[in-house]
């Protein structure tokens, strides 16, 4: 009833956008991973320098396995870079390293949207895992009227959608910071900056796709609920 009904068509635009975003990230990353920066700085060196210049020298920079697994851990104050970013001096590596350094600096400066997102995460993490199962059980149990489980599922999923919406300005700000820092400190210049921007724009599109999917999924849930009224 939930996975095969006609309302699934609502999700098709978001699915197409998600496939496109993933393909664009991979192709853009591969392209600019082959172009070395004139500064010859590695991703790790760039991140370290940006953190130091931003007064966040206490944040560690670590190498981790995997591809595009780069992230900042606000709980442990650690910026983790995948090996191919940590050790590379490509435009893609510097762009990604600077983006994650941007997140670390957001945390260091108590950037309000990031503070709110981090405080909101524990609730959303639990609720998002329960939302769809509760809604499906409620849908199966409902007769001519919607079940309370459907309403609880919708409420919990609404929180997940809100979290996804809050994530967008956090990610856009980190990318904006990355470009400004790379250019301002002279680590990239001219066409190099344009390349880094393309990498970061492609990555940002994946967050837009995820948010679009979440919003359309919520719309679908509300339509299914209204069909039980």
Percent of the chain, pLDDT > 70?
A: 97
Mean pLDDT of 166-170: 95
List, for residues 103-139, the tens digit of each pLDDT value.
Answer: 999 999 999 999 998 888 887 888 888 999 999 999 8
Q: Cα separation of 91 and 77, whole Å? A: 25
Q: Cα separation of 185 and 50, whole Å? A: 8
Q: Cα separation of 134 and 142, whole Å? A: 12
Average pLDDT, the chain: 92
List, for residues 52-80, the tens digit of each pLDDT value.
Answer: 999 999 999 999 999 889 999 998 999 99
Burial degree of 143 (CB within 10 A; 0-12, 13-18, 19+): exposed
What is the pLDDT confidence band of residue 2, given thresholds at 50, 70 and 90? low
Residue 9, pLDDT > 70, answer yes
pLDDT given for residue 62 in this prediction: 97
Residue 1, pLDDT > 70, answer no
**Which residue's structure tokens are 């997140």?**
103
pLDDT given for residue 37 in this prediction: 96
Q: Cα separation of 148 and 177, whole Å? A: 44
Sheet with strand 60-64: strands edge to edge = 60-64, 78-82, 71-73
Any idea which residues carry the catalytic annotation? 100
**CA neighbor of 74 nearest in space, from 124, 114, 45:** 114
Chain centroid, CA 19 distance in Å: 15
Mean pLDDT of 158-169: 94
pTM, rounded to two decimals: 0.88
Residue 200, pLDDT > 90, answer yes
DSSP string, 3-30: SSSGGGGGGHHHHHHHHHHHHHHHHHHH
What is the pLDDT confidence band of residue 144, given thresholds at 50, 70 and 90? low
Mean pLDDT of 29-47: 96
What is the pLDDT confidence band of residue 229, given thresholds at 50, 70 and 90? low
Contact between 78 and 71 (Cβ < 8 Å): no
């Amino acid at each position: 009833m939930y996975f095969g009904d006609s309302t699934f068509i609502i999700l098709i635009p978001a699915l197409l956008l998600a496939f496109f975003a993933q393909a664009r990230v991979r192709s853009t990353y591969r392209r600019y991973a082959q172009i070395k920066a004139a500064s010859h700085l590695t991703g790790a060196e760039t991140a370290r320098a940006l953190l130091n210049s931003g007064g966040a020298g206490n944040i560690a920079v670590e190498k981790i396995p995997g591809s595009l697994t780069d992230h900042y851990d606000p709980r442990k104050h650690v910026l983790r870079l995948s090996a191919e970013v940590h050790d590379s001096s490509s435009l893609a590596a510097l762009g990604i390293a600077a983006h994650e350094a941007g997140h670390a600096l957001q945390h260091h400066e108590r950037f309000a949207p990031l503070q709110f997102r981090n405080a909101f995460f524990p609730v959303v993490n639990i609720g998002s895992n329960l939302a769809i199962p509760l809604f499906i059980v409620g849908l199966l149990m409902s007769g001519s009227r919607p079940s309370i489980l459907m309403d609880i599922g919708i409420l919990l999923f609404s929180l997940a959608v809100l979290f996804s919406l809050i994530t967008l300005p956090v990610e856009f700000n980190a990318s904006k910071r990355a470009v400004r820092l790379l250019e301002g400190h002279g680590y990239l210049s001219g066409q190099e900056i344009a390349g880094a921007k393309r990498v970061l724009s492609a990555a940002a599109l994946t967050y837009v796709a995820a948010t679009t999917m979440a919003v359309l999924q919520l719309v679908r849930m509300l339509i299914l609920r209204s069909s039980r009224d």
